[in-house]
Amino acid sequence: MITLHQLKPTYMSESDVKGSDIFLQDKVPFEKGKKYFIKASSGKGKTSVLNFIYGCNLNYEGKILYDNKQTDKDLSAFRLKKISYVFQDFKLFPEISLFENIEIKNRLTGYKSKDEIRELIDKVQLHHKRNALVKTLSLGQRQRVAILRALCQPFDFLLMDEPFSHLDEENITILTEIINKEVEDQHAGMILTSLGSEYNFSYDTIYQL
């Protein structure tokens, strides 16, 4: 369980977040095993919410509880086993290959075998780019790599910030199936943000920022 209490970015005023389903609310729970969709126009704080939860942005007021406890500000160990994140800007390593970018995460977690990683790469139609440097890939190809990398670890929650913004319908369908299976296999929760499209997931709760 992740619970937000009276959360507000320090760089936004109360009038900026007026009417939000999340900001300045007494209690906003995210439960393991459920899917959540956060919808808002650009600049309303979608990325901020996920960054706050992940602990890579601490510029907020209020509290974030993990299983009803506050954690240390350094969430490194927590992230390794509890939370995985598909960043909007991917955060890939451009000078190493597609396969190495995924494997570097898997070395930390030991979660999937090399054969399982290759199978995922094949499923998202990137087998021909397996050894290509990430800097040579298109935005859509990089986005697929970022998603696969996020799935190469155990997690209670998967955070995804506009994960399909550079993908066509075919690839969205393929990845939705892969993500759904991994989330369900791990009995995990999922929090997805988007400017509008809900894609093909079945959500338990939809929040408007």
Question: What does the pLDDT look like over 41-84, one tens digit per residue?
Answer: 888 899 999 999 999 999 999 999 998 888 766 677 788 889 99
In the 8-state DSSP scheme, what is residue 97?
B
| Domain-wise residue ranges, the chain | 2-208
Residue 197 one-letter amino acid: S
d(CA 2, CA 23): 15
What is the torsional sign of CA 163, 171, 154, 128? negative
CATH number at 2-208: 3.40.50.300
In 7-158, where does DSSP find H-type helix? 46-54, 76-81, 98-109, 114-123, 139-150
On whether the CB atoms of residues 78 and 156 are closer than 8 A, the answer is no
d(CA 191, CA 158): 6
Going by C-alpha positions, the residue among 128, 169, 165 that lies closest to residue 146 is 165
The torsion region of residue 134 among left (phi > 0), alpha (psi -120 to 50) and beta comes to: alpha
From first to last of its 209 residues, the chain has per-residue pLDDT tens of: 999 999 999 999 999 999 999 999 999 999 999 999 999 888 889 999 999 999 999 999 999 999 888 876 667 778 888 999 999 999 999 999 999 999 998 888 899 999 999 999 999 999 999 999 999 999 999 999 999 999 999 999 999 999 999 999 999 999 999 999 999 999 999 999 998 777 889 999 999 99
